[in-house]
Amino acid sequence: MDNADKIAMVERYVEAFEKGDVEIIRSMYAQDAVVEDPVGTDAHHGLDAICAFYQGALGAGAKLRLSGQARCAGNAVAFPFHVVMPGMQIDVIDVFEFNDEGKISSMKAYWGPDNLRKDG
């Protein structure tokens, strides 16, 4: 998987949130993937658990806005963005690791209370 493919996955991820489409998310992840969001909390294991997690975020109206360039290294891409929801914004850095089939095998989201801003 080359860097252009990794960056295209980041763009597809943003698109999934823009469209509120969990099926886009489903198509991006490996069946046995793991999501830790934020790092330090209980991980979501497997495609069904991951899609249920994302359905909650999409249902809350979360949208993503990239806030810097993606960085590619090895089988991974890291990228900074804002999660924008009614009344709040979270500044996040996600790291996707990819398997040999080009699917996300691991996603880790780095953010904490200091990265949360309430509007109004």
Find the catalytic residue in 13, 29, 54, 94: 13
CA distance 64 to 78: 15
Which value, in Å, is the radius of gyration of the alpha carbons in the chain? Answer: 13
Find the catalytic residue in 5, 29, 32, 37: 37
What is the separation of C-alpha 63 from the centre of its chain, rounded to a whole number of angstroms?
11
Q: What are the Cα distances from residue 37, in Å, to 1, 5, 44, 101?
A: 24, 23, 8, 23
CA distance 10 to 95: 10
Active site annotation includes 54: no
Active site annotation includes 13: yes
Catalytic sites, residue numbers: 13, 37
